[in-house]
Amino acid sequence: MFRKFENLVDPFAPVAEETPPATLWAYLKSHYRAFRKGMIAMAISGILVALVETGLIFYSGRVIDLLGATEPGNLMARHGVELIIAALLIMTLRPAMIAFNHLLLEQMLASNMQEQVRWRAHKHLLGQSQGFFQNEFAGRLTNRVMQLGEAVEDGTYMAFEGIWYAITYVLGAAVILAGVDPILSLPLLAWAAIYALYVRYIARRVAVASEKWSDARSMVTARVVDAYANIETIKLFADEGTEERYVLSAMRRLRLRFQRFLRLMTELSLGLNLINGVLIVGMLAPAIWLWSRGAVTVGEVAAASALTIRLNGMSGWIMWVVIRLFEHAGVIREGLRSVAVPHDVVDAPDAPALEVSEARIEFRNVSHHYGRGQGGLNGIDLVIPPGQKVGLVGRSGAGKSSLVNLLLRMRDAEAGQILIDGQDVAGVRQASLRRAIGMVSQDSSLLHRSIRANLLYGNSQADEAAMIAAAKQAEAHDFILDLRDAEGRAGYNAHVGERGVKLSGGQRQRVALARVLLKDAPILVLDEATSALDSEVEAAIQGTLFGMMRGKTVIAIAHRLSTIAQMDRIVVLDQGRIVEDGTHDALLARGGTYAALWARQSGGFLGDAAE
């Protein structure tokens, strides 16, 4: 039975790829669509449960009147059938209705809503460009995704469990009281109106305070995660004091905003008790007066008293629910600052997959200045024939990495076109483009998973033999066999830590090389692929690198010019433009920029000093 209700909604069902709405209600509605039928059932069952609870209190008043008007020995004879039917309904129908309502609330709603919100938010963020993540704290994004799921689910749950139930309860009580005597319903309705206005007044202030509190909470998480992720830098520079002050300032801000939130809670408690005092006096005084005139019975006065005490207790809970709803609204609005951001690199509608036949690459008048109007690339025209190995050379900031990032479509070029076998990369699916390009960068971070999982990221269909062969080619197999993590996992099952921190730089680089070997893409990009390797290991895998290049179109970036001297062709960039293009020997003979860079090398590395 539980599973049946839990499976009424699939939180991970595919949905149309679109930017989440940026406004609160529109965002909530986008998540409610999958729960629509269940929410209608929850609303109906919630009404029935509230009416049953209200009726139960007033039936207890009738029982008191029956006891007062009947001799003890005659009670069952005169009213036994009624009392037995009431007892059976209380023991069967009431629990069944409450159970059904909670199966919908807990199993259908609560067990699925959080994960639906988190999954869709995470999936949307995964589609963001590299530039988006460069401008955000990973910790803050994580906190917003996690808080968003809880806020939407808990807010929706409480809206049905608390607000909907309470409204039905109060209206039902007012109708029943009016049936006894219209005068009894007037204090209740007046109290409800005053209560609603007070809740609205406080809740609006809570929403603002909650959004600021949530924002401060996300910042603390961001700074703490940033510290843990860069703990090596903090230790190396022995600057824990600066780091402590950096996080402490965020924690102080969080404390201040939390204190402002708590002040509202205290103010709320005071106002609520004043209003409830009015309810108690306003309900009981008319009831006693009506009884003194013989207009109502003792049982009806008792029922009204019980209702008043019940509402007095409920009012604090309802107020807390409303405040939580507005608190969640603030959290959702804060989360939408990151989640409801459109993708800046998107596939065209019905974009086809890239089809690589020869792996010819062409840059046509490509310019990109990162929105600054200067820097980056300026009017790049470059054709790389199929199978050609091209080295990119230039000082830091010359535009080498920008050229590669545009080829991979990490960003869209501001002007010009990039073609692969005549297909504009902006017009094909991003996933197909990147499947066709194997890249090893100078900072090859690994996923916090096993060596096996990291290698198979290159080709999830590869078998064990192919995986091990790739590791051997990259000179990684031997050290992998010696690995063992804190959980006792060894070899290819050992986990490498966040970003691969348990491995040395050279070991990470070799695993990254093996991963690209396993991918076997027709285009290969090497961005300082051997920068983390010592000379002995580099020499050992030089044959592997050239083997990787065989039959592929290659773009290689290196400050160590000796590693690209054997390329078919070398392109020299300076200030975002191509200034030289030719073979190693031809460029040396020309005596231009490349020859000057070659002559100025120290230890085989390219100097970055300005001319």
Q: Does the pLDDT value for residue 365 go beyond 90? A: yes
Q: Does the pLDDT value for residue 546 go beyond 80? A: no
Gyration radius of the chain over CA positions: 35
Q: Does the pLDDT value for residue 604 go beyond 50? A: no
pLDDT tens-digit profile of 120-164? Answer: 999 999 888 877 887 877 778 888 899 899 999 998 998 888 888
pLDDT tens-digit profile of 285-339? Answer: 888 888 888 888 888 778 777 777 777 777 777 777 877 887 788 889 888 988 9
Mean pLDDT of the chain: 84
- C-alpha to C-alpha distance for 437 and 451, rounded to whole angstroms: 22
Q: What is the pLDDT of residue 183?
A: 83
Nearest CA to 420 out of 375, 346, 363 is that of 363
pLDDT tens-digit profile of 318-332? Answer: 777 877 887 788 889
Q: What is the pLDDT of residue 236?
A: 65
> Domain limits of the chain?
24-339, 359-436+566-611
- C-alpha to C-alpha distance for 181 and 301, rounded to whole angstroms: 11
Residues paired with 286 in a beta bridge: none
- Does 24-339 carry CATH code 1.20.1560.10? yes
- C-alpha to C-alpha distance for 146 and 31, rounded to whole angstroms: 16
Same fold, 24-339 and 359-436+566-611: no
Is residue 180 within a helix (H) or strand (E), and if so which, with residue range?
A: helix 165-180
pLDDT tens-digit profile of 34-92? Answer: 999 999 999 999 888 888 888 887 778 778 877 777 777 787 888 888 888 888 888 88
In angstroms, what CA-CA distances link 325 with 103, 109, 157, 169, 202?
A: 22, 16, 10, 19, 12
50-54, 92-96, 356-360, 412-416: least confidently modelled range: 50-54
Q: Which residue has the higher pLDDT, 265 or 488?
A: 488
- C-alpha to C-alpha distance for 191 and 572, rounded to whole angstroms: 80
- C-alpha to C-alpha distance for 289 and 302, rounded to whole angstroms: 13
Q: What is the pLDDT of residue 607?
A: 47
- Does 359-436+566-611 carry CATH code 3.40.50.300? yes
pLDDT tens-digit profile of 484-518? Answer: 988 888 999 999 877 777 887 778 888 888 898 89
Q: Does the pLDDT value for residue 610 go beyond 60? A: no
Q: Does the pLDDT value for residue 168 go beyond 90? A: no
pLDDT tens-digit profile of 4-31? Answer: 999 999 999 988 888 999 999 999 999 9
CA 431 centroid distance within chain: 21
Q: What is the pLDDT of residue 222?
A: 82
Q: What is the pLDDT of residue 320?
A: 75
